[in-house]
Amino acid sequence: MENKVVIITGASSGIGKSCAFEFSKLGAKVVLVARSENSLKDISLKINQNGGESIFIVVDVSVEKDCEKMIEETISKYGKIDILVNNAGISMRSVFLNLDISVFNKVMAINFWGSVYCTKYALPYILKSNGSVVGVSSIAGYKGLPGRTAYSASKFALQGFLESLRIENIKNKLHVLIICPGFTNSNIRKKALQGDGSQQGESPRSEQKMMSSEKVALEMINAIKKRKNTLVLTSSGKLTVLLNKFFPKFVDKLVFNHMSKEPGSPF
């Protein structure tokens, strides 16, 4: 990763923040992207004080022009892009019947279209460097989760997009990694949108029992080095994906029962 230029969206917290620190430790030049200027500034300062190199760009990935501008600024600063980590994401929690369609649109705009926009403008430079496009998906991109219709839809769409992109560029030696963490200790559930668009506020799950965002970041970097196509994390995540291939109806019931036990389950 020495001197690689790495763009990380959603870098202000969670997996993105951990990726920023881990890439910088390996000598990468990190471009931090998110909407929270104060958080980005703090993370970038810590990286640079510890001998790393980083810049930050305030971007709303759901806005195409923001994504185009972000790529232009990165090229102006570093002249190349080696790795794009499409990590920016938002979750939701509501049965579809009670879900305002604006919430569905917002989740798709950030989780899916944000990755499309960033990849579109970064791709010419990544192809030049024989680099990597990374999409942070979810087990919800393999199995639809009840109460998470918009979230699952966005992750299924993301995986279809990235898989098509990989095959389309098979002769160009483009590396595309789809990473599917299981439940990860981050603030994504605290910021998850409810049916009316308000933030959930408190996580309905035991965060301390989940895989750490630092562990996810290290697994991701290792998969990039090995140029893997997919990375599914956590034992329960791997088991869900495996069983779903052969016993989808059985897994439907397992997932329903598991998710319905969450405190304040909407179904």
pLDDT greater than 80 at residue 185: no
Q: Please provide residue 94's backbone torsions phi and psi, each rounded to the nearest 5 degrees.
A: -175, 150
Q: Please provide residue 42's backbone torsions phi and psi, each rounded to the nearest 5 degrees.
A: -65, -45
CA distance 261 to 267: 10
Instruction: Give the bridge partners for 90, in sequence order.
Output: none
Tokens standing for residue 40: 């980005």
The domain total for the chain is 1
What percent of the chain lies above the pLDDT cut of 70?
Answer: 94
Q: What is the model's pLDDT at position 191? A: 76
pLDDT band at 204 (very low <50, low <70, confident <90, very high): low
CA distance 198 to 190: 11
CA triple 19-20-21, angle to 5 deg: 95
pLDDT band at 266 (very low <50, low <70, confident <90, very high): confident
Does residue 267 fall inside a structural domain?
no
Does residue 97 fall inside a structural domain?
yes
Residue 20 sits in a domain whose CATH number is 3.40.50.720
Q: Is 117 a catalytic residue?
A: no
Does residue 11 fall inside a structural domain?
yes
Q: What is the model's pLDDT at position 209? A: 67
Mean pLDDT (whole number) for 55-65: 97
* Burial class, 144, CB count within 10 angstroms (exposed 0-12 / middle 13-18 / buried 19+): middle
Q: What is the model's pLDDT at position 186? A: 65
Does residue 266 fall inside a structural domain?
no
| Residues spanned by the domain of 131 | 5-260
Mean pLDDT score across all residues of the chain: 93
pLDDT, one tens digit per residue, over 61-81 is: 999 999 999 999 999 999 999
pLDDT greater than 70 at residue 206: no
DSSP string, 103-145: HHHHHHIIIIIHHHHHHHHHHHHHHHTT-EEEEE--GGGTSPP
Q: Of the listed 78, 117, 121, 151, which one is catalytic? A: 151
Does residue 265 fall inside a structural domain?
no
Q: What is the pTM of this model?
A: 0.91
Burial 151-179 (b: 16+ CB within 10 A, else e): bbbbbbbbbebbeebbeebeeeebbbbbb
Interhelix angle for 213-225 vs 14-25, to 10°? 50
